[in-house]
Structure 1
Amino acid sequence: MSNANSWGAPRPAVYPLAPLPASALAGVRRRRIAAVLLDLILVSILSAVLFIVLGVLTLGIAWLFLPSLFPLVAFFYNGLTISGWRRATPGMKAMDLEMRLVDGSPTPFIHASVHAVLFYLSLYLFAPIFLFSLFASDKRCLHDVLAGVIVLRRV
């Protein structure tokens, strides 16, 4: 199989970050767990504040429609923070991590949001899927692979 498309132009490598320095992946799993816990706390606080404020502003009517507020806040929290200039959620920033596409470019909003959806689906539906990371040489979880991103230590 050749590395060219039908016009003869070379295709980009599937994983150009392959020779990653060991320091880029050192302690990533432990740091990601701590970052997720921090981010879950922050998303919970944001959701609770929004729930109360919207409930008070609508005299309680909004409370009928707001049980799905947490996933919505988490979706935009991850999408906006990871696609921002810091390339990390506040939890990831505190743990000295950043997320990039596998080609090294910044993560766009749609990739960050899809990553968040896949993460929460994995967490709530089948948590043992996170064991995939133990067998991956680049310490990526399955939802990282599906979203086309990698989490690295900040350079």
Structure 2
Amino acid sequence: MADERDRIGVSYDVKPHAYDPETNPELFDGVPARRVLAFLIDLVILAIPLILVWLFFFAVGIVTLGLGFALFGLMPVVTLLWAAFYYGTTLGGPRSATIGMRALDIEMRTWYGAPSYFVLAVVHAGLFWVTTSVLTPLVLLVCFFNQRGRLLHDFLVGTVVINNPARVGTMRTGGPDRSTV
């Protein structure tokens, strides 16, 4: 059977979960609460440039005696492009974390341990907004019914959010060295 598999170039091996909450509980300790705070930080970061664009469109509308107000029709497109860029470059970057996630020492990985990448990050963020819009924010309660604290969109794209190695290191040692304080 293995010879036939090699011949057609298809592997049937399923990768196991890289992060086990029973052997490494510190990876998941406090992650849901940190995700909420990280989301709020990222929401502010996303909103500030959009408010500036809105103000620019408003100023153009005033200067052009109302003709420039048509630019407000571009706001949904500008919003989607900005959000895709932000999530793709931060969540899909080398640290696999948005600015809010970095501030709170969490990161996103694939369920088998690989770092995130641009397309995965954009799809992940898009599914978050779609699932919470369509299924109400109550869908976020899913994290309380699984050991890894994964949300519905995490299951759909195969990701898991964990504490980053620096935070895990301080949790394993009992916190930062307080002897110098």
Runs of 5+ consecutive residues of structure 2 not aligned to the other structure: 166-181
Please report the TM-score for the alignment, with normalisation by the length of structure 2: 0.73
Give ranges in structure 1 of 5+ residues lacking alignment: none
Moved over 4 A (4+): 53-59
| 2:161 is equivalent to residue 151 of structure 1 | yes
Which residue number corresponds to residue 53 of structure 2? 50
1:79-131 deviation per Cα after TM superposition (whole angstroms, max 9, x unaligned): 11111122110000111111111111111111111100011112222211111
- Which residue in 1 is equivalent to 2:39? 36
Partner in structure 1 of residue 133 of structure 2: 124
Q: Which one has the bigger helix percentage?
A: 2
1:76 — aligned with what?
85
Max Rg structure: 2
1:141 maps to 151
Amino acid at match of 1:149: T
CA contact (8 A) 1:82 1:99 kept: yes
3-state DSSP class of the match of 1:6?
helix
3-state SS of paired residue (2:75): coil
Question: Which of 13, 21, 24 is the equivalent residue of 2:24?
Answer: 21
Q: CA deviation at 1:71?
A: 3.0
Whether contact under 8 Å (1:111, 1:148) holds in the other structure is no
Q: CA RMSD in A?
A: 2.7
Letter aligned with residue 143 of structure 1 = H
Contact 2:17 2:113 in 1 (8 A): no
Shift of 1:32: 0.3
Instruction: Give me the identity figure in percent.
Output: 31
- Supply the distance in 1 between the matched residues of 2:41 and 2:11 (Cα, whole angstroms): 45
Contact 2:34-2:104 within 8 A present in 1 as well: yes
Distance across 2 between alignment mates of 1:117 and 1:10: 29
Question: Does the Cα contact within 8 Å between 1:31 and 1:95 map onto a contact in 2?
Answer: yes
Deviations 1:30-61 (A, max 9, x none): 00000001111110112222344466579625
Aligned length: 154
Match of 2:117 among 79, 86, 108: 108
